[in-house]
Structure 1
Amino acid sequence: MRVAAGVFAPGHLGELTQFIPFEMVDEILAATRRTQQRIRLLPARVTVYLVLAGCLFAELGYPQVWRKLTAGLTGLDLAAPSSGTLREARRRLGSAPLQALFDPLRGPAVTTAKHAVRWRGLLLTAIDGTTMSVADAGKVRTRYRKQRGNHGGAGYPALRLSVLLTCGTRSIIDAAFDPTGTGELDQARTLARSLRAGMLLPADRNHAAADLIATLVATRADLLIRCKNGRRLPVITRYRDGSWLSTIGTVRVRVIDAQISVTTSDGTHTSGYRLVTTLLDAHRYPAGDLIRLYHRRWEIETAYLEIKSSILGGRVLRARTPDGIDQEIYALLTVYQVLRTAMTDATDSQPATSPDRASFTTALNAARDQITNAAGVLADTVIDLVGAIGRAVLAHLLPDRRIRVKTRMIKRSNSKYQARGPSIDRRSYKATIAVDIITNHCEASAGP
């Protein structure tokens, strides 16, 4: 057993501690002025790891999380704090150290699988928002409101979370969260602070507003945004691949219209796509390739699934104060990020293995086991770049992703009275995709 000494021993995250070492936590506590004035049974460093572990064991109360942290520390004389003591320690810590901890850990995960994260030299990113339910407590409701809806609205208040994500490794570059009164586009403007030249940002139709496009273009990142099929865009110049030069506001863009047909044994389904991009070189960035590339944007939905379903299990955030929610969100993002880093390190150890094949659930469960066993807290003299988490990931690699041919639908209704549509078809279909660029547009100019 190799852990910290004395009352600091429960302060660990199993093997993930190597990504968040004691020295990093101590420096952040000192920078945010949260280091304890005297050594308590629950030092501030231990409380940081307790909050992080609470995200990995979201189904457990904090006293049970404490027992997970100490389960592998046999033979040590450790405290058994009450739930009230643990709550007070989290309140003393506050959210500032967790926010400061997330900051150096965020960013694109380093990987040798350039094809997974880059396209023609551009770093593929994605941006989108989601909502998360928070505790229905009096202090929480002073900041977070319940969303309106049928039958009296939502049962819980909610917050809106938006992230800027790296495609391929699905590591988080930046994040913003606010009450739901703040829209996705406002959060996108905030996240623009982390866009850089050399990035390519696919985004959905909500992000096609002229003022937002101008804000994003000012970062020097390139854009690939879907817009409404009927949007009137002037034809300035026609390219050989069927796309044309146009303007949205003051920004010059290239417009691509296409029909995408997916054919399976169940028939053929066709839909129209209109994309606008700041990549104006049609020879270097062909329209057909951009249409095929756009679907990578959906990787951000998988990331939200991993956070909200795999980690949280669909549960409401446990914090019951606004500052506690800030603390929990930053802890959740930090845990997700280091898990993704461990997964990328694992797939990088096997050449030509795409990060997309790493199982998040496998990594999550392996990390939980390492915490319970208090294993891998400190690195051995011989550095293990893969580790127990990585070996579990490599032993259970996912198959290459299949083409998605079904539209979104609710698989399990919240109420038997709200169930709609036929039973779910869970069969797999072999599919082929055809992309046809539409070229017969009217040449008349129109306003943006």
Structure 2
Amino acid sequence: MTRIVPFELVDAVLVECGTVQQRLRKLPARVIVYLLLAAALFEDCGYREVWRKLTGALVGLPLVKVTATALRHARCRLGIRPMRALFDVLRGPVCAIRTTGARWKGLLVVAIDGTHLDVADDEAVRAKLGKGSNQHTAASGYPQVMLVALVACGTRADIDAVFGPRKPGESVLGRRLTRSLTSGMIVLLDRGFSSNPFLTTVAAAGADFLARLSSGRKPPVLAIYADGSFLSRIGDIEVRVIICEITIATSAGRRTGAYRLATTLLDHRTHPAFDLVRLYHERWEVESAYFEIKKSMLGRRVLRSRTWPGIAQEIYALLTAYQVIRIAIADAAQASGADPDRC
């Protein structure tokens, strides 16, 4: 952790955010940053137990005694900005030019998708986020934060992430990620992100996309190419549409479905339809990233915090700790010549 997130980096972030303590405290701001990062790695513990894990090897040294209240006050003093700034420093594709599987025909392969994180069912949090509902009840389950991430498929690293209430929806929230889209990227998108406004926003950022269209879309056929794809238009964007059949095999059996993929890569000679269909399978890497965060790290637990500032601080710490792990994996893979997404 301190190799990838050294003390000097944390101190620089604290200075930039103006959150360096004004007087020497038992719990300086730098210590609380590492406490939050460690808490993301020990999600089954409360903050006092995380503190004991952090200091457990310091036998014989005169350590301060801290209470749960002191840790809570220290986290409140730190606020959200330093954890968000630290994530901003570390986020990125973490791949070199030769990283296996990171690029396709010279394009950096990325994906955008959304997921939900459960948070404590506290009255103030519920008022901000609301609760889910179903046909049996008006409100059910824990309140949830919607997290939408831009992930590098070759390394499963976070290039960017945003989060907020479930409404107005993942595609609206995800438009904020276009700040991190550039030319030289191919963005893989599921049906939830195939609306005209979202695709227009991605194209305006200079990135290419490969998106699955919903079954209700009826794009016009303007020209048919030799590989079976056809030229069409979505809003003001010229696209190629590919109709394909994809079979998914899992432990629950095999399932086959018809997919319609739209892309801004219009040349069927340099980007054949079959190659694009194979590329679309890489979209699943963003789902694997969410599995790592929600299952491997969180263990499907509810986030600890019971206030919105605390929740935001905890999510940025979780994303930062995840990114640190992916950086370490990418470094190890690069040294051995392995494919990072197999680690």
Measured against the shorter chain, the TM-score band is over 0.9
Q: Does 1:32 align with 2:17?
A: yes
Distance in 2 between the 1:229 and 1:79 partners? Answer: 61
1:23 correspondence with 2:8? yes
- What's the CA shift string for 1:18-76, capped at 9, x where partnerless? 11111111111111111111111111110111111111111001111010000111221
Matched, 1:324 2:324: no
Residues 117-151 of structure 1 deviation map (CA, whole Å, 9 limit, x = unaligned):
10000000000001111111233223221112244
Question: Which of 188, 194, 217 in structure 2 is aligned with 1:231?
Answer: 217
| Amino acid paired to 1:315 | R
Q: What is the letter of the counterpart of residue 221 of structure 1?
A: A
Q: Which of 240, 246, 254 is the equivalent residue of 1:254?
A: 240
2:100–2:340 CA contact under 8 A, matched in 1: no
Runs of 4+ in 1 over 6 A off after TM superposition: none
Matched residue pairs, number?
Answer: 341
Say whether the 8 Å CA contact 1:111–1:345 is kept in structure 2: no
2:116 is matched by which residue type in structure 1? Answer: T
Hey, what's the Cα distance between the residues in 2 that align with 1:263 and 1:123? 27
Q: Equivalent of 1:198, from 180, 184, 196? A: 184
Match of 1:313 in 2: 299
Q: Give the direction of change, closer, same or farther, for the CA distance of 1:262–1:103 in structure 2 (3 Å limit).
A: closer
* Residue 187 of structure 1, CA deviation: 1.6
Matches for 1:291-310 after TM superposition, within 5 Å: 291-310=277-296
> Would the alpha carbon gap of residues 43 and 269 (structure 1) be closer, same or farther in structure 2, given more than 3 Å must change?
closer
Contact 1:113 1:354 in 2 (8 A): no
Q: Could you tell me how far 1:159 is from its partner in structure 2?
A: 0.9
Residue of structure 2 in register with 1:189 after alignment: 175
Q: Which residue of 2 aligns with 1:99?
A: 84
Task: Output one character per residue of 1:257-288: Cα deviation in whole Å (capped at 9) or x when no partner.
Answer: 12235799x99854211111000011100000
The equivalent residue for 2:332 is 346
Task: Determine the C-alpha separation between the residues in 1 that align with 2:16 and 2:154.
Answer: 33
Aligned amino acid, residue 312 of structure 2: D
Letter in 1 for 2:243: D
Question: In structure 1, what residue type is equivalent to 2:191?
Answer: R
| Correspondence 1:395-434 to 2 at 5 A | none
Distance in 1 separating the partners of 2:329 and 2:268 = 36
Q: Does 1:245 align with 2:249?
A: no
The alignment's TM-score, normalised by the length of structure 2, stands at 0.95
Shift in Å at residue 219 of structure 1?
0.7
Match of 2:132 among 109, 133, 147: 147
The alignment-based identity, stated in percent, is 51
Q: Give distance in 2, aligned partners of 1:262 and 1:163.
A: 24
1:133 aligns with 2:98: no
Paired residue for 1:87?
A: 72
- The more displaced of 130-139 and 163-172 is 130-139
CA contact (8 A) 1:111 1:344 kept: no
Could you report, residue by residue, the CA deviation over 1:317-339 in whole angstroms, capped at 9, with x for unpaired residues?
A: 10111100110010000000010
Asked whether the 8 Å contact 1:117–1:169 carries over to 2, the reply is yes
Give the direction of change, closer, same or farther, for the CA distance of 1:271–1:72 in structure 2 (3 Å limit). same
1:49 match: 34
The 3-state SS of whatever aligns with 1:319 is coil
Residue 77 of structure 1 deviates from its aligned partner by: 0.5
